Amino acid sequence: MTHEQTLKEVEYLKECLDRFAGLLPQGRTSSFYAAWQRCLLRWQREVGHAVEYFDSKADSDCLPLSHKV
């Protein structure tokens, strides 16, 4: 999977979580949603950092395994 595909997957997961949030009632479950949202935002940030790192490297040894054929 390329990093572009990974970012698309993250965006899709965020969209699903946003839809899920709309289904959650307010109150007790809102802290559950908030915990999932924090996890997803952290994952998005980490994936973003990884993509920036790989994009900044010209050496093919630094590319993700999906780029090595």
Look up residue 26 and give its two tokens.
Answer: 């307010």
Side chain identity, residue 7 = L
pLDDT in tens, 3-28: 677 777 777 877 777 777 666 666 66
Q: Residue 10 in contact with residue 3, Cβ under 8 Å? A: no
Query: How is the chain split into domains, by residue range?
Result: 3-67
For the whole model, what pTM was predicted?
Answer: 0.43
Is 1 in contact with 66 (CB distance < 8 Å)? yes
Per-residue pLDDT of 30-52, as tens digits, reads 777 778 778 777 877 777 777 67
